[in-house]
Amino acid sequence: MFMFQRLLEGRSEGLCVRLCVLAVALATGLPPSGAGAEEAHAIAMHGKPAMPADFTHMPYVNPEAPKGGRLTWGVLGTFDSLNPFIVRGLAVQPVRTYVVESLLARGNDEPFTLYGLLARTVETDDERSFVTFRLDPRARFSDGKPLRADDVLFSWQLLRDHGRPNHRQYYGKVTRAEAPDPLTVRFDLTGANDRELPLILGLMPILPKHAVDVAAFEETTLTGPVGSGPYRVTAVKPGASVTLTRNPDYWGRDLAINRGLYNFDEIRLDYFREANGQFEAFKRGLYDFRIEQEPLRWHDGYDFPAAKNGEVIRDTIKPGMPQPSEFLVFNTRRPIFADIRVRQALTLLFDFELVNRNYFFGLYSRVAGYFAGSELSAYGHPADARERGLLEPFAAQIPADILDGSYRLPVTDGSGRDRTTLRAALKLLSEAGYDLDGTVLRNRATKAPFTFEILVTTRDQERIALAFQRDLKRAGIAPSVRSVDPVQFDQRRLAYEFDMIQNRWDQSLSPGNEQSFYWGSAAADNPGTRNYMGARDPAVDAMIAALLEAREHTAFVSAVRALDRALISGFYTIPLFNVSEQWIARWNRIERPQATSLSGYLPETWWSKGQPQAHQAK
């Protein structure tokens, strides 16, 4: 240590810090920084951050947005917990954004770039074998206690051991974690082979060590958490509403990453049990905005007086992300859907052309795969040499037409009576052991009729399910359609207690660790993941590993496309439609910036009309 003290004499502050860190690393046994390591204000998954270190605000905000007023959300469903970090219960998800902060914050105009928030800087090496965060000394929790390295280490351990399945999976990859000083946290990632992991750790929610009961953490609670974010939970009506109030002493209100954000003094979330009642409440002005997801309603449901006279504004936004896609999901844990030929046959029987014309006014398109409308989609594109190399060990299970890009979803004549697709479906079903007995499709061995349940929760889902029920009847299949309230639907979906559901996976331009949570084998039997189909496919697992290891953008795109091909080849879902636009209706008392982020709408950038300008409100 004496050697380092001598070296510190007469040196610059930056050199002093680096030498001190090296000394602590040697003393604690942690590996020193690797090649190319340097502190930075931001970190990108691929390439360089778009915003410089001295940026003043993000391009998709109004930096002079006035503060004040209230934003009321109308939320479909209910809640029984304010802890969004555990599996149990139905949590109030905005708590994660508005109350609890992370070390770094997303730049919403980039595929996956994080900028300093609780951490002023982030440091990693070329191999991403470690990551170091240096905290902002001003950071405080809402109770006034300073946020320090011990809180970061506590949060990492807590969520690794007691958090949601994705937290346990991600944070369990850390080899070792240390706090060289009260404002520095270093994670050793040796052996993880996961280039996204430094960013995943940057998004880790930070909870106060002094205010969390570890023994009770996994239980549901209606007590608002202590966080470091711009809002605090100030009122709770169980199952009905939650009120968040802006913290006037919020430590980070002057940060560049926050300028133009969190403009309302109060955010209120009102919960509605039923979708039609929720829409009627919006028409009466009981909440401020809604994200419309039903084409029929968007097309002809906004004919009430306030929408006609301009009090309600309808915004159509085209984000730059992969198009959200809706699917009918086979639960392959059920024996009836275990045979891929059955899943292929039922895919043939869905008449998209009829449904799109009659229910959706031709507003939708349809693409197989999970990254529609982006360069990451494999649909319609031949595999390049890199993709073929990745998929070569699994060549037997990747059909030639999916590999060469010629595979297309079936196209019917739109009559609801297409015979070509029916014949092809019956042939596959026969190969799988099912024969028509009059007008009933039966298992050849057991004589049991082919039947299953389609679980739905909204009017739009029910219409699609009933249309599919009619399609299947032509093949002798008689599914039942069961409509349940959103609470029961979520509970059954999370526990995989269904035969078939409709679901949507939203993807980014930088898919990463969450893909294991969506379709990795380890997630298949772990309640609370989003692997609803129960996929257990070594090819899928290998492609997820490949995209996590990719360094260059071209290699990354090839790995994601290879994943897309493996998923398409499994026929785990029936693609329904792709959503290329975001439909937002808002009362004109709410305003938003002219610029839109790459990810689309961001309520945290909105403000209340009629408030004084930000510089006047201070």
Question: Going along 82-227, which residue ranges are E strands?
Answer: 104-106, 113-116, 119-124, 130-135, 176-181, 184-188
pLDDT in tens, 240-263: 999 999 999 999 999 999 999 999
pLDDT category at 35 given cuts 50, 70, 90 is low
Q: Are residues 298 and 351 in the same domain?
A: no
Q: Are residues 196 and 211 in the same domain?
A: yes
Q: What is residue 613's predicted lDDT score, i.e. its pLDDT?
A: 55
Whether residue 198 lies inside any domain: the answer is: yes
Cβ within 8 Å of residue 157, ≥6 positions away: none
What is the mean pLDDT of the segment spanning 335-352? Answer: 97
* Domain final residue pick, 166, 190, 216: 216
CB atoms within 10 A of CB 491: 14
Q: What is residue 31's predicted lDDT score, i.e. its pLDDT?
A: 47
Q: What is residue 294's predicted lDDT score, i.e. its pLDDT?
A: 81
Q: Are residues 166 and 242 in the same domain?
A: no
pLDDT category at 402 given cuts 50, 70, 90 is very high
What is the mean pLDDT of the segment spanning 381-405? Answer: 96
The CATH number linked to 496 is 3.10.105.10
* pLDDT > 50? residue 319: yes
Q: Are residues 556 and 508 in the same domain?
A: yes
Q: Are residues 172 and 246 in the same domain?
A: no
Higher per-residue confidence, 356 vs 140: 140
Share of the chain above pLDDT 90, in %: 80
Q: Are residues 200 and 242 in the same domain?
A: no
Q: Are residues 483 and 561 in the same domain?
A: yes
Total number of domains constituting the chain: 3
CA atoms within 13 A on the CB side of 122: 30
Cβ within 8 Å of residue 568, ≥6 positions away: 368, 369, 378, 379, 402, 407
The whole domain housing 376 covers 325-578
Asked if residue 568 lies in contact with residue 407, where contact means CB atoms within 8 angstroms, the answer is: yes
Whether residue 532 lies inside any domain: the answer is: yes
Under DSSP, the state recorded for 31 is: P
What is the mean pLDDT of the segment spanning 373-377? Answer: 92
What is the mean pLDDT of the segment spanning 40-62? Answer: 96
Q: Using alpha carbons, list the distances in angstroms from residue 101 to 34, 96, 116, 251, 602.
A: 29, 7, 11, 11, 17
Out of 1-10, 407-416, 556-565, pick the least confident: 1-10
Q: Are residues 524 and 482 in the same domain?
A: yes
Whether residue 56 lies inside any domain: the answer is: no
pLDDT category at 612 given cuts 50, 70, 90 is low
The CATH number linked to 203 is 3.40.190.10
* Phi, psi (deg, nearest 5) at residue 570: -80, -15
How far, rounded to the nearest angstrom, does the alpha carbon of residue 251 sit from its chain's CA centroid?
27
Share of the chain above pLDDT 70, in %: 93
Whether residue 250 lies inside any domain: the answer is: yes
Asked if residue 590 lies in contact with residue 424, where contact means CB atoms within 8 angstroms, the answer is: no
* pLDDT > 70? residue 148: yes
Q: What is residue 362's predicted lDDT score, i.e. its pLDDT?
A: 80
How far, rounded to the nearest angstrom, does the alpha carbon of residue 3 sit from its chain's CA centroid?
49
Whether residue 105 lies inside any domain: the answer is: yes
Q: What is residue 333's predicted lDDT score, i.e. its pLDDT?
A: 97
Give pTM, 2 decimals.
Answer: 0.78
pLDDT category at 275 given cuts 50, 70, 90 is confident
* pLDDT > 90? residue 188: yes
pLDDT category at 30 given cuts 50, 70, 90 is very low
Asked if residue 500 lies in contact with residue 453, where contact means CB atoms within 8 angstroms, the answer is: yes
pLDDT in tens, 69-118: 999 999 998 999 999 999 899 999 999 999 999 999 999 999 999 999 99
Q: What residues are paired with 106 via a beta bridge?
A: 114
Q: Using alpha carbons, list the distances in angstroms from residue 162 to 115, 171, 528.
A: 27, 11, 13
Q: What gap in Å lies between CA 338 and CA 333, rounded to an integer?
A: 7
Q: What gap in Å lies between CA 545 and CA 15, rounded to an integer?
A: 37
Whether residue 13 lies inside any domain: the answer is: yes
Whether residue 221 lies inside any domain: the answer is: no
Q: Are residues 397 and 457 in the same domain?
A: yes
Q: What is residue 24's predicted lDDT score, i.e. its pLDDT?
A: 41
The β-bridge relationship of strands 312-317 and 590-591 is unpaired
Cβ within 8 Å of residue 3, ≥6 positions away: none
What is the mean pLDDT of the segment spanning 307-332? Answer: 94
Residue by residue, what is the 3-state secondary structure of 173-203? CCCEEEEEECCEEEEECCCCCCCCHHHHHHC
pLDDT, mean over the chain:
91
* Domain final residue pick, 187, 216, 245: 216
Q: Are residues 147 and 247 in the same domain?
A: no
Q: What is residue 533's predicted lDDT score, i.e. its pLDDT?
A: 97
* pLDDT > 90? residue 399: yes
Whether residue 135 lies inside any domain: the answer is: yes
pLDDT in tens, 473-510: 999 999 999 999 988 999 999 999 999 999 999 898 99
* pLDDT > 50? residue 384: yes
What is the mean pLDDT of the segment spanning 424-443? Answer: 97
* pLDDT > 50? residue 311: yes
CB atoms within 10 A of CB 388: 16
Q: Are residues 188 and 241 in the same domain?
A: no
Asked if residue 485 lies in contact with residue 273, where contact means CB atoms within 8 angstroms, the answer is: yes
* Domain final residue pick, 160, 184, 216: 216
- CA end-to-end distance (rounded Å), the chain: 49
Q: Are residues 390 and 422 in the same domain?
A: yes
